[in-house]
Amino acid sequence: MTTYHFNGGIQKGTVATDARARKLDEQCKHLMQDVYSVLKKTYPKLTVQKKLTKTQIPGEIGACAPDGGAWFYDGVLIAVFEGKKQQDRGNAIERWFKNNFICRLINPNVSYVTFCTGEGAYSFWDKVLGRLTHGQIVKALNVAHLDGFDQYNPGKNSAFLNTDCFTKEFINATMIEAITERIETLFPQSLI
């Protein structure tokens, strides 16, 4: 008789997702195609990939498949969009660092935008305690978001927080803003 011992991680027969995580993932993937259709008309050198190829990854080992795609302009990685959902405990958000690291090796000026949801996606001033209170996502990602949360930081990491869900309109507008800003900042001569 074989005895199964749980050693942490995702338990056998379970998945690390729920309805809100699936919704965010689907929004990012669906909107990736919508945004591409709109922007491709204005920026013909724009391309998007669902995941990086092995040859694009430094060292050619590993994987990087951001939910909202890896966006290239004239062959240069300019923007990446992720969706992450996490409770106010655990370490699911820790996996974010691998993709970010790979993308920053490819282009240090990439705009890496993350839409964070779940009970761990908060930061607010607690009047009773007289201090800022942060959820697990902010605690984990703060070191990589020193310019702040809930704002677009061109060429850096940007994370937007919402304990519930983001609207399609918000994700769509944020993706368009980041891609357009990167193209117009990094390739102004190609727009003339």
pLDDT digits (tens, 9 = 90+) for 94-136: 789 999 999 999 999 999 999 999 888 888 667 777 777 888 8
**Poorest-pLDDT segment among 8-12, 122-126, 144-148, 168-172:** 8-12
pLDDT of residue 182: 98
Per-residue tokens: 35: 């945004």
DSSP reduced 3-state for 54: helix
E strands of 86-139, at which residues? 111-117, 123-126, 131-134
What is the arithmetic mean of pLDDT over 172-180?
Answer: 97
- Residue 151 confidence (pLDDT) above 50: yes
Q: Which helix (H) or strand (E) holds 40?
A: helix 19-42
| pTM to 2 decimal places | 0.84
Map out the domains of the chain with their CATH numbers. Answer: 19-187 (3.40.580.10)
More confident residue, 154 or 27: 154
Give the model confidence (pLDDT) of 36-74 as tens digits: 999 999 999 999 999 999 999 999 999 999 999 999 999
Per-residue tokens: 126: 């607690």
Pairing outcome for strands 123-126 and 131-134: antiparallel
Within 10 A of 150 (CB to CB), how many other CB atoms are there?
A: 12
